[in-house]
Amino acid sequence: MTGLVKEFLLPDLGEGLTEAEIVRWLVGVGDSVTVDQPVVEVETAKAVVEVPCPYAGVVTRLWGREGTILDVGQPLLAIGEEPAPSVEVSDPSGSAEGSGSVLVGYGTSTPAARRRRVLVPTPGSTVTVPAAVEVARAGSVRVISPLVRRLAKEHCLDLGTVRGSGPGGLILRKDVEQNNQVPYAHAAPAPNAPALSGESAARTPEAVLIPLRGARRTIADKLARSRQEIPDATTWVDVDATRLLDTKQQLTIRDDAKVSLLALLARICLAGLARHPELNATLDTSRQEIIQLPSVHLGFAAQTERGLVVPVIRNAQRMKLPELSAEIARLTARARAGELAPADLSGGTFTLNNYGVFGVDGSTPIINHPEAGMLGFGRILPRPWVVDGELAIRHLCQLSLTFDHRVCDGGAAGGFLRHVADLIEQPASLLRLL
């Protein structure tokens, strides 16, 4: 390899993030890249993002495999200015898209995409190859693509049991797909290995060990900090949501567009915060100040394959119901697709939690630090209820409010919750706000 080689370092991804985990490489050694071309997909504590490279040239080295955690400022890859002597390994079958006969991660849609550049060093030259290739050369597990490893992991497949059909016994995607019934062999601890506290009971060969990292670690750290720092209290009330459901149905018929129940509940929550701004606040312990915030950046809890995330609706207090419903739908779709940016998950001032979707009635949520409150909704069920002195079947729901008792007292918290409950029971008074 001749010419200048530039190292591309893991950039600062913003929002106070200091590290990222490699999910998959979008390029390989020998590939040509252009300026601002995405080269790697990484998972931060807040989202999965593609990282673009600021240099053009040929990839000469990759740092880290799938699952490697890198700190901001550590090398990601090296780019050479001049192409390396190379040969191309083509799809031997010449088959169409989806054949599974190519290296995973380099596509099968076009002839150009079905080729993988493989560096061939000239005499006297040196070429740095990624660690995954070194493993393949060693003959232990012949895998280059991190996506093959990821697919094997998803199928609980021990790659050591797979016979590769690629060049030199290289394991390809189709090899994993054809052998996805083989379970991992759980390695037993060494006979004389020291055990951690409780390990003899927990670390059995059948135990599933899940690294606490990425989004899961961030959630754990944030919840632990919330409980350590915030003296929270919870208050709750049962509410008759029958008329709210009727209103939702009428709005759907009138506007010929589906209005989500979460959007209605969010609009009611915003009305409660407008009357009780004490809960749209945070506490600055260093200056001993309660900061009541002028705008409501409303977060809402959403369960995804990556775990619990809280997308944030910016300046939600300015939105009418149709706009609010559309924004919730947009953020929910991006969350489930893993496409939320870190900024979409930061800066919330109050959180809405519809845990009723899990089929439960009540909860005592942990506050999303450094916010001052979280409003939760349980499932809505038909139950007996007294209306005007008569027993009737109504659709009931339990509301719960967890609040920072340093920021407000029970009177303000109870007033907020009661106002929310009243709007749910008498939504006609809410119509002017929609």
Query: How many angstroms from the chain centroid is the CA of residue 333?
Result: 12
- Per DSSP, 155 falls in state T
Q: Which residues pair with 183 in a beta bridge?
A: none
**Identity at 419, one-letter amino acid code:** H
Burial of 418 (0-12, 13-18, 19+ CB in 10 A): middle
Nearest to 341 by CA among 44, 39, 24, 12: 44
**Residues designated as active site:** 405
Can you tell me the distance from the alpha carbon of 241 to that of 122, in angstroms, rounded to the nearest whole number?
Answer: 75
Q: What is the secondary structure of 45-63 as a DSSP string?
A: SS-EEEEEES--EEEEEE-
Instruction: Please name the residue that has the structure tokens 């939690």.
Output: 353
Q: C-alpha angle with apex 262: 259 to 267, nearest 5 degrees?
A: 85
Residues 6+ apart with CB under 8 A from 375: 269, 272, 350, 351, 352, 353, 399, 400, 401, 417, 420
Asked if residue 344 lies in contact with residue 364, where contact means CB atoms within 8 angstroms, the answer is no
